[in-house]
Amino acid sequence: MKRIAVLTSGGDAPGMNACIRSVVRACVHFNIEVFGIKRGYQGLIENDICQLSASSVANIIQYGGTILKTARSKDFMTPEGRKKAFENLKAHNIDGLVCIGGNGTYTGAMIFEQEYGIPSMGCPGTIDNDLWGTDYTIGYDTAINTAVEAIDKIRDTAESHDRIFFVEVMGRHSGHIALHAGLAGGAEGIFVPEREHELEEIVELYERKERKKEFSIFVVAEGEQEGHAYEIAKRFQDHHPETDCRVTVLGHIQRGGKPTSNDRILASRLGAHAVKALLEGHRNEAVGVISKDIVFTPFKEAIERKKDIEDNLWTLNNIITR
């Protein structure tokens, strides 16, 4: 293997730049030529590929977003798109890929390898932390901290006005952000897609509490089965019309901003190990960190298996909010 290319695909996540930097610096270390592909698989199809050097990635570790830009390429889902992508890779004599992103990114890399034999390694980059094969994904720690900072601010106004706030955080299919941000933000109830009957429980709890608080904060994952935060707030107010409820949807601010040191270190470890693994003959695998150790998980398994929220934290939440 002489030439490796790196791309970011899917939703951006703080720490992706640190990962790109680490991939590039590891390639330089191992005397491998390294290329950057813009806008994920779309740039591969459109031949938007440029050579990178150690200095191309100087002064980026502290920035959110991705210098390579990102996209969810519909064209790459077609055989014609992948054919074009392969031709462009071959024209650059690129032998392997490091693909930073989530489930869709892994799926693209896996199909591409099956059709054209291009070896890829994946680095888990998504704020949602919903990928199997790693304890944490790049961007998750930053997103939680952003959400907690926002919840702290909302708490001030909730208390001043004696209001009940429902704060919606990201997590299209998962409640990892909601659980961690809710616990760290001292929420009185957390709604996650992985569990049921949360509304019933918070209504029951609200009615049972002897020490009636005038204000409360509930955190709702975007993918919650009982509905979005607005619907849940409305249903809560149907039970308690006397309460003054408000909803805040945090949205994409959770995807931006300076990565935390945890995200920078995680991203740096994953990027360098992805390069090393490619050179050692690994392919079609996602790199992850489990209990502080680097692990490799076949794409197929990483895509098919669902990482549940930490049950011990869910139990803890149920204990300390009662």
CB 41 within 8 A of CB 86: no
- Which residue lies nearer to ligand F6P by CB, 65 or 96? 65
Query: Residue 255's closest CA among 171, 167, 153?
Result: 171
Which residue ranges make up the site for ligand F6P (CB under 6 A)? 11, 126-128, 170-172, 222, 255
Taking the complex as a whole, how short is the minimal distance between the CB of residue 72 and ligand F6P, in angstroms?
Answer: 7
- Which residue lies nearer to ligand F6P by CB, 101 or 119? 101
- Which residue lies nearer to ligand F6P by CB, 10 or 96? 10
**Has 128 been annotated as catalytic?**
yes
Taking the complex as a whole, how short is the minimal distance between the CB of residue 144 and ligand F6P, in angstroms?
Answer: 13
Taking the complex as a whole, how short is the minimal distance between the CB of residue 254 and ligand F6P, in angstroms?
Answer: 7
Taking the complex as a whole, how short is the minimal distance between the CB of residue 25 and ligand F6P, in angstroms?
Answer: 26
Residue nearest to ligand F6P (CB): 11
Catalytic-role residue among 128, 130, 141, 263: 128
Place of tokens 């290319």: 5
- Which residue lies nearer to ligand F6P by CB, 7 or 127? 127
Query: Residue 16's closest CA among 128, 159, 137?
Result: 137
| Sheet containing 189-191, strands listed edge to edge, beginning at the edge strand earlier in sequence | 189-191, 216-221, 164-169, 245-249
* Pairing outcome for strands 33-37 and 49-52: antiparallel
Residue 65 amino acid letter: G
Query: Residue 42's closest CA among 83, 70, 67, 12?
Result: 70
* Catalytic (active-site) positions: 128
